[in-house]
Amino acid sequence: MKLNKDLYLNSRMFFLTGIVVLAFIVSFILSSLVILPKILLLVLVAVLVTDVLLLFRTKRGLHGYRFTPDKLSNGDENEIRIYLENFYPFRVFLEVIDEIPHQFQKRDVSFTLKLEVRASKTIHYFLRPVKRGEYAFGAVNGYVSSPLKLVKRRFRFSADAVVPVYPSYIQMRKYELMAISNRLTEVGVKKIRRIGHNMEFELIKEYVAGDDVRTINWKATARRNQLMVNHYQDERSQQVYSLIDKGRVMQMPFNGMSLLDYAINACLVISNIAIRKSDKAGLITFQNDIGTTLPASRSNRQMASIQEVLYNQKTGYRESDFSTVYGHIRRKITQRSLLLLFTNFESLYGMQRQLAFLKNLNKQHVLVVIFFENTELSSLTSAPASQVKEIYYKAVAEKFAFDKKLIVKELQQAGIQTILTPPEKLTVNTINKYLELKSRGMI
């Protein structure tokens, strides 16, 4: 802890001024007051000076610092810790105020506690950012009181820390660990029944209990005089591209986060799972023009590259141009791939304007159109209506909700895979669709 120099000089000046004032008060009291008030006032001044001496005599009475992660995870609860240690020779009472970034719009991050002699304590609290970017923390302010509690002394530490907020790497790691340990069903990911075998042969091995008897290799069994089975592996190195629409339709907020940020978080998770499944993950962002193109790969650096690209995505609030996307994909992606299109259609007419380009993409690749339910409309349609205005609002909400279902039906009639999902279930539903398509051998 580096004590603020200005604070130290002000403390010295305050102490010297206090001595002068005390001498003046004592001389004035002795000359003008009667005995009892003189004694009471002298006692009060003596206690006040004692409290000041107790707090300011120890130069480094309080030590502390703030622990923050190297980066915060967008949309998740991130743990922040404040470590405090008492170097005073007596128990102290503390009020701790942390100056958190202005993006959180919180001014009540304060804690009260007491520390025994030479004791330490760690304060834990959580912050949930809802926008990507750099977040500037101020100082941690510790206001110390002695057992007399007449004076407070301020200490400042861990000032001016800047922490970037990245797409949800906490969510990515959670699903990654569950995928590795085959526990994805715990968070709603369905167990997909595999249809038949793909034809990528790997090796012949000895039969063990649980192997499919239909894979017994009778010729190898006859030669080795023991049961041998063919072992197949999943088809690998399929390309999985996330297409992220950055247009104005993706700026609608839900629970403080925009649809664009929900899509970015889901893109990070599905890209990581695709690489874990030995597929290649790529990324294309667009609005009225193509933004960023990251070719599909499963190299060791691919996830770091995807995370950096997603961190820097911003929108110009413009109308999305699907014709430009179609032309770009036709030129850049020559191998049949899985395209996960994260967008939003609020009306049937808006989807029909883009349907021709979506059909053409689906002819060359496996296209999955992912768009969002308006959960505010869902709560409005389910609420009872008694007044004319409420009935009118409910009718309009039901019309928009019905349009969403018509969009799904028309896309499916065109042979396009579709996901209509609430924002909070976007990641799980996207993983489900990816695993389903893998199990059906469509990619």
Tell me the pLDDT band of 408, cut-offs 50, 70 and 90.
very high
Cβ contacts of residue 117 below 8 Å, gap of 6+? Answer: 86, 88, 89, 90, 91
Between 11 and 65, the higher pLDDT residue: 65
Q: Are residues 14 and 104 in the same domain?
A: no
Asked whether residue 421 falls in the same domain as residue 389, the answer is yes
Report CA 285 to chain centroid distance, whole Å: 20
Q: Which residue has the higher pLDDT, 407 or 390?
A: 407
Q: 2 pLDDT exceeds 50? A: no
Q: How far is CA 74 from CA 18, 244, 306, in A?
A: 50, 17, 15
Integer-rounded Cα Rg, in Å, for the chain is 33
Q: In sequence order, what are the residues at sequence separation of 6 or more whose Cβ sits closer than 8 angstroms to the Cβ of residue 213?
A: none
Q: What's the chain's average pLDDT? A: 85
Mark 133-170 as b/e (b = at least 16 C-beta within 10 Å).
eebebbbbbbbbbbeeeebebbbbbbeeeebebbbbbb
Report if residue 51 sits inside a domain. Answer: yes
Would you say the C-alpha torsion 160, 164, 165, 168 has a positive or negative sign? negative
Amino acid 9: pLDDT = 43
Q: Are 78 and 207 members of one domain?
A: no
User: Which tens digits make up the pLDDT trace of 272-310?
Assistant: 999 988 899 999 999 999 999 999 999 989 999 999 999
Which CATH number does the domain housing residue 89 bear? 2.60.40.10
Same domain, 85 and 127: yes
> Smallest Cα–Cα separation from 140: which of 90, 65, 63, 236?
65
3-state secondary structure the chain: CCCCHHHHHHHHHHHHHHHHHHHHHHHHHHHHCCHHHHHHHHHHHHHHHHHHHHHHHCCCCEEEEEECCCCEECCCCEEEEEEEEECCCCCEEEEEEECCCHHHCCCCCEEEEEECCCCEEEEEEEECCCCCEEEEECCEEEEEECCCCCCEEEEEECCCEEEEEECCHHHHHHHHHHHHCCCHHHHCCCCCCCCCCCCCEEEEEECCCCCCHHHECHHHHHHHCCCEEEEECCCCCCEEEEEEECCHHHHCEECCEEHHHHHHHHHHHHHHHHHHCCCEEEEEEECCCEEEEEEEECCCCHHHHHHHHHHCCCCCCCCCCHHHHHHHHHHHCCCCEEEEEECCCCCHHHHHCCHHHHHHHHHHCEEEEEEECCHHHHHHHHCCCCCHHHHHHHHHHHHHHHHHHHHHHHHHHCCCEEEEECHHHHHHHHHHHHHHHHHCCCC
**Res. 201 pLDDT band, cuts 50 70 90:** low
User: Each residue of 99-143: pLDDT tens digit?
Assistant: 999 999 888 899 999 999 999 999 999 999 999 999 999 999 999
366 and 248 assigned to the same domain:
yes
Q: How far apart are CA 120 and CA 358, in angstroms?
A: 61
- For residues 182 and 46, the model is more confident at 46
Decide if 196 is inside a domain: no
Q: What is the mean pLDDT of residues 169-180?
A: 78
pLDDT recorded at residue 180: 55
The answer to whether position 325 is within a domain reads yes
Q: What is the pLDDT of residues 307-326, one digit of tens each?
A: 999 999 988 788 999 999 99
Does residue 285 belong to any structural domain of this protein?
A: yes
307, 271: one domain: yes
Q: Name the residue with tokens 């091995």.
A: 205
CATH number of the domain within which 402 lies: 3.40.50.410
The confidence score (pLDDT) of residue 87 equals 94
Asked if 141 and 289 sit in the same domain, the reply is no
What is the pLDDT averaged over residues 69-89?
95
The answer on 239 and 228 residing in a single domain is no
Confidence of residue 202 (pLDDT cuts 50, 70, 90): low
Percent of the chain topping pLDDT 70: 84
Confidence of residue 5 (pLDDT cuts 50, 70, 90): very low
Containing structural domain, residue 114: 62-166
> Are both 421 and 301 inside the same structural domain?
yes
Q: What angle do CA 363, 243, 430 make, to 5 degrees?
A: 90
Domain contains 377 = yes
Residue 348 sits in the same domain as residue 422: yes
Q: Is 75 within a domain?
A: yes
Higher-confidence position of 425 and 14: 425
Asked whether residue 406 is domain-assigned, the answer is: yes
Whole-number Å distance between alpha carbons of 237 and 335: 11
Same domain assignment for residues 332 and 355: yes
Here the tokens at position 6 are: 């200005």
Residue 194 forms part of a structural domain: no
pLDDT value at residue 14 = 55
The backbone torsions φ and ψ at residue 360, rounded to the nearest 5 degrees and listed phi first, read: -65, -40
**248/321 Cα distance (integer angstroms):** 11
What are the tokens at 338?
A: 């899985």
| Domain count for the chain | 4
Instruction: Taking each helix axis as running N to C, give the angle between helix 169-180 and helix 259-276, from 0 to 180 degrees, rounded to the nearest 10.
Output: 30
**Same domain for 28 and 120?**
no
Angle between helices 35-57 and 5-32 (to 10 degrees): 170
Quickly state the pLDDT bin for 387 (edges 50, 70, 90).
confident
pLDDT at 140 (0 to 100): 95
pLDDT > 70? residue 31: no
